[in-house]
Chains A and B, each alone.
Chain A
């Protein structure tokens, strides 16, 4: 599976839109991109998954350009409760997820 690179940490004020970009230069043709959120003392929680272009759900949007070498998770109007670690992960069929270091997002009042 492709190696991913994302910022170690980000800070944001409440109410702002947060964009976390992940690079995955060597992503394979049949890999999807998934994003997970993890709070302290909890397991990772699935947020969103996409293959190309844009995917939106009630929590976030995911933008994947045509070359698929990067993806951007967009969190609209963050609140203090969005403070967590966010992981970008390529996903392929039956292959288990392999976690990188993730991005620690701190939302400030």
Chain B
């Protein structure tokens, strides 16, 4: 199964700044996704990171706020832009799935606190 590494694992940021979260997968994968999880809550899908094209965002999430890059089949970044305290959350990268019935795997997340 794919091993997913995220950096940083946690950060404390000032409001108005931006932070880029990196996600590295140890094997080539077709599908990569970004989720958000508030403490004690379930995961919410932010977007699908498409290799070679723009990400596909879910309702309530926009590219200007959460730009995503997917330069190749093993790497993706999520930027949280112009942060406010409401952006304090855990951001998780996921990879896998697809038509061959392989399960999706998850990184351990980036815990972000905005002051």
Contacts and interface: CB of A to CB of B under 8 A. Distances in A.
A101 B44 CA distance: 10
B42 A99 contact: yes
Given A32-B101, A93-B98, A93-B99, A98 B45 contact: yes
Q: How large is the interface on B (under 10, 10 to 19, 20 to 34, 35 or more residues)?
A: 20 to 34
B58 to A, nearest CB: 9
A45 B106 contact: yes
A75 to B, nearest CB: 18
A10 interface: no
A46 B109 contact: no
Given A94-B30, A99-B43, A41 B108 contact: yes
Contact of B98 (A94, A98, A99, A101): A94
A97 B44 CA distance: 10
A102 B41 CA distance: 9
A51 B38 CA distance: 31
Interface of A: 32, 34, 41-46, 49, 87, 91, 93-102
A29 to B, nearest CB: 14
Contacts of A44: 43, 106
Contacts of B20: none
Given A34-B103, A46-B1, A46-B103, A96 B108 contact: no
Contacts of A49: 101, 103
Contacts of A94: 30-31, 97-99
A97 B96 CA distance: 10
A70 to B, nearest CB: 20
